[in-house]
Amino acid sequence: MNIGKKNSFIFSLGLVIGVLLVGGLRINQQEFLSPVGGKTIELVEPQEIIIPARTAKAQGQVQGMMVEKTAETEKPLKQSSAEKTNTRLKGEYRIAILGDSMVDTAGTGFFGLEKRLNDYYSQTDVKIFNYGAGATDLEYGLFRLTNDYQYLGKTVPALLKVEPDIVIVESMAYNHWSDTKEDLDRQWLTMGKIVDTIKKDSAAEVVFLTTIAPNTKVYAKNIDGLNLTEEDRLNRVKTVRMYIKNMINFSGSQGVPLINIYQASLGAGGEGKLKYISEDGLHLSEQGHKLTAEMIFDYLKGFIGTD
Tell me how many domains the chain contains.
Answer: 1
Residue 104 lies in a domain: yes
Nearest to 45 by CA among 215, 269, 197, 217: 269
Cβ contact 155:148 at 8 Å = yes
Cβ contact 86:200 at 8 Å = no
Q: For residue 79, give the DSSP letter.
A: P
- The CATH number given to whatever domain includes residue 181 is 3.40.50.1110
How many whole angstroms separate alpha carbon 154 and alpha carbon 176? 25
How many whole angstroms separate alpha carbon 270 and alpha carbon 42? 14
The pair phi, psi for residue 113, each rounded to 5°, is -65, -40
pLDDT on residue 303: 77
Cβ contact 158:38 at 8 Å = no
The residues, ordered by sequence, that sit 6+ positions from 138 with a Cβ below 8 Å of its Cβ are 171, 172, 175, 187, 190, 191, 194
Question: Pseudo-torsion of CA 160, 162, 163, 165, nearest 10°?
Answer: -100
Please work out, in degrees rounded to the nearest 5, the angle formed at the alpha carbon of residue 157 by the alpha carbons of 248 and 140. Answer: 40
Taking only the tens of pLDDT, the chain with its 307 residues reads: 444 444 555 555 555 544 544 343 333 333 333 443 343 333 334 333 333 333 333 333 433 322 333 332 233 334 433 344 454 556 899 999 999 999 999 999 999 999 999 999 999 999 999 999 999 999 999 999 999 999 999 999 999 999 999 999 999 999 999 999 999 999 999 999 999 999 999 999 999 999 999 999 999 999 988 999 999 999 999 999 999 999 999 999 999 999 999 999 999 999 999 999 999 999 999 999 999 999 999 999 877 764 4
Q: Helix 138-146 vs helix 181-201: angle between axes, to the nearest 10 degrees? A: 20
Residue 116 lies in a domain: yes
Residue 102 lies in a domain: yes
Residue 178 lies in a domain: yes
Residue 206 lies in a domain: yes
pLDDT on residue 59: 39
Residue 86 lies in a domain: no
Residue 305 lies in a domain: no
Residue 37, domain extent: 3-71+91-300
Residue 81 lies in a domain: no
Q: What pTM, to 2 d.p., does this model score?
A: 0.76
